Amino acid sequence: MLTDIEAMRLNFMLKNDNKVLEIPIVKIRPNKAQPRKTFDETELAALSTSISENGILQPLSVRKISAAEYELVAGERRLRASVLAGLRKVPCIVLKCSEKESAIYALLENLQRSDLGIFEEARGISKLIRRYGLTQEEAANRLGKSQSTIANKLRLLRLTYEEQEWIVNAGLTERHARALLRIEDDALRHEALSKIISENLNTSQTDELVGILINSVPKTIKSKGTSKAVIKDLRIFLNTINKAIDTMRLAGIDAQSNKKDTDNFIEYTIRIPKRHQKPDAEKTA
């Protein structure tokens, strides 16, 4: 059974005579629907060297958009590497396809590459849906994925752009990102992400951390017109207080704390001297 991308390729083959033309690079315009925004410079340099020595083994795919211009359908890495290699013309197959077909084909080509970033993929799917008015189900059918998979991919875009950058730069996985989505509070999610990166937490540890944080957030329960704050797990807050006191003591500050439990409260009394006390080692030196 043909996959969506194989079916599309076959459709293009039937619609085109597949003649390879040498087209000047200056006449080829990038594909506006290209989902990939970052390209590995080392890989491009290696591909450029290969092209210089062996030429382009697989022609680029383009579509004609005017008498003097073509739009790239597939092969942006080869095009960029060709520019680096100093080529003026590249071999291309001119496809007879619509702008919509071109966008879908470009996305499909990139989705089959394992190094396409999780947010690049999500943004590509989102752009495809918005530009051509597709439903998630229609997009799923076009891309050969389930509707739930498409929905989960799109949910990743609820993370802020800054959070997305942190996740990408830290090399975190899609499962890390999806776990973070469970935290609705922006500040708490930001704090969790910082901890995940600094402590190099794996996905299981991340799920555990997120669960603790979610259970630590006050939740409002409305009953008979009144609101009651419920905190399921206070450990993370108490640990923060204890760590702060320990840090001050290590710095030579004689901070004192006293914890008292009552039926309704956990009461902390912290005493911090106004004047800095030198550590014992310095006093006896």
Measured distance CA(106)–CA(5) in Å, rounded: 10
| Residue 76 annotated to the active site | yes
Return the DSSP state at 30: P
Measured distance CA(69)–CA(47) in Å, rounded: 25
Measured distance CA(105)–CA(72) in Å, rounded: 11
Measured distance CA(65)–CA(71) in Å, rounded: 6
Closest CA to 95 of 160, 202, 39, 13: 13
Which run of H or E residues covers position 74? strand 70-74
Of the residues 22, 43, 71, 76, only one is catalytic, namely 76
Which two structure tokens, joined as six digits, stand for 184?
């609705």
Which two structure tokens, joined as six digits, stand for 266?
């956990």
106 near 31, Cβ under 8 Å?
A: yes
Residue 22 φ then ψ, to 5°: -90, 110
The residues annotated with a catalytic role in the active site are 76
